[in-house]
Amino acid sequence: MTRRILDAHLHVWDLATTPQPWILEASLDSLDRDFTVRDAVDVTTGAGVDRFVLVQTEHSVRETLTMLVESSTEQVHGVVGWVDLAGDTSADLDALGAAPGAEALVGVRHLAHTESDEQWLLRADVASGLEAVA
């Protein structure tokens, strides 16, 4: 039996286009740099990981489109991106579905804990967005 390892949650970013404001503490200095898909391939291969799933780091369709393009690398098993659940979710999904690499989109997520509205997940517009995703 061949053992295969999948990292199901891996982030990449270009700080010029996708800043990571959570990297504030000096203890996180090693993360305060760009992490590319090439970096991910090098590190995961060296650790015995066969494939990985890229996961969004910001609420941005632009970032998701970039990850879809980068998903052509053999080691990228899928992309968990972002769509605006409170906006025109169907239009966002259509744009992602027409994009190069669209077949790699395996899910979407929204960092609900960053929303100032504690009732955000209960709002009617968000429920409509979740329904569109489903």
* Apex 99 CA angle, 93 and 100, nearest 5: 145
Model pTM?
0.90
The dihedral over CA atoms of 113, 114, 117, 118, expressed in degrees to the nearest 10, equals: 20
**How many whole angstroms separate alpha carbon 82 and alpha carbon 110?**
6
Per-residue pLDDT reduced to its tens digit, 54-75: 999 999 999 999 999 999 999 9
pLDDT in tens, the chain (134 residues): 778 899 999 999 999 998 888 887 777 888 889 999 999 999 999 999 999 999 999 999 999 999 999 999 999 999 999 999 999 999 999 999 999 999 999 999 999 988 999 999 999 999 999 999 99
Q: Which stretches of the chain are DSSP H helices?
A: 37-46, 61-70, 89-97, 124-133
* 28-43: b (≥16 Cβ within 10 Å) or e: eeeeeeebebeebbee
Domains and CATH numbers, the chain: 6-133 (3.20.20.140)
* Number of Cβ atoms within 10 Å of the Cβ of 54: 29
